[in-house]
Chain A
Amino acid sequence: MNARPILIASILTLLAAPLHAADTSDPEEASREQIEHKMEQAQERLEQASREISKLSMQLNDQPWMGFGASRALLGINVGAPMSGTADRTGGVRILSVSPGGPADVAGLKANDVIVSFQGKELRGDQTHTPRQQLLALMRDVGPDAPVAVEFQREGKRQTTQIVPKSLTGFVDESLTRGLDSLKNLGSMMGMHDSSGFGSAEFLDLSPELGRYFGTSKGLLVVRAPKDQRLGLQDGDVILDIDGRIPTSGSHALQILNSYRAGETLKLHIMRQQKRVELPVEIPADPDHGA
Chain B
Amino acid sequence: MHDELARLNRLKHELRQLPSFEPPEHAWPLIRERLERLPNQRRGVPRVFAPAAVAAGLVVALTSLWLMHLHRGHAGPDDGTIQSLVSRSQRLEAVLNTLPPRPTVERAATSAAIDDLQTRIQILDQQLSAAANDDRYRTQRLWSARVELMNSLVYVRYAEAARNGDRPDHSSTIGAI
Contact = CB atoms under 8 A, between A and B. Distances in A.
Interface in A231-273: 249-251, 253-255
Contacts of B167: 36
A144 interface: no
A254 B149 contact: no
Contacts of A78: 124-126, 128-129
Contacts of A57: 120, 144-146, 148-149, 152
* Secondary structure class of chain A's binding surface, majority of residues: mixed
A100 B152 CA distance: 12
A160 interface: no
Interface of A: 3-4, 7, 11, 14, 36, 39, 42-44, 46-47, 49-51, 53-54, 56-58, 60-63, 65-66, 68, 74, 76-85, 96-102, 110-112, 136, 139, 168, 172, 176, 180, 183, 186-187, 190-192, 194, 198-205, 210, 213, 221, 223-224, 226, 249-251, 253-255
Given A194-B109, A200-B108, A202-B105, A102 B122 contact: yes
B61 interface: no
Interface in B75-99: 79, 82-83, 86, 89-90, 93-94, 96-97
A97 B112 contact: no
Nearest to A69: B130
B65 interface: no
A36 B168 CA distance: 12
A49 B110 CA distance: 12
B129 A136 contact: yes
B170 A112 contact: no
A251 B111 contact: yes
A96 B116 contact: no
Given A96-B90, A194-B109, A213-B177, 15 more contacts: A7-B151, A47-B110, A78-B125, A80-B130, A81-B135, A83-B86, A96-B128, A97-B146, A136-B130, A168-B122, A183-B123, A192-B113, A199-B109, A223-B174, A251-B114
A210 B173 CA distance: 12
Contacts, number: 219
Interface of B: 79, 82-83, 86, 89-90, 93-94, 96-97, 104-133, 135, 138-139, 141-142, 144-146, 148-153, 155-156, 159-160, 163, 166-167, 170-171, 174-175, 177
A66 B144 CA distance: 19
B93 A110 contact: yes
Contacts of A199: 107-109, 112
A85 B129 CA distance: 18
Nearest to B99: A100
A46 B105 contact: no
Contacts of A60: 141, 144-145, 148
Contact of A99 (B86, B110, B116, B121): B121
B133 to A, nearest CB: 5
B159 A83 contact: no
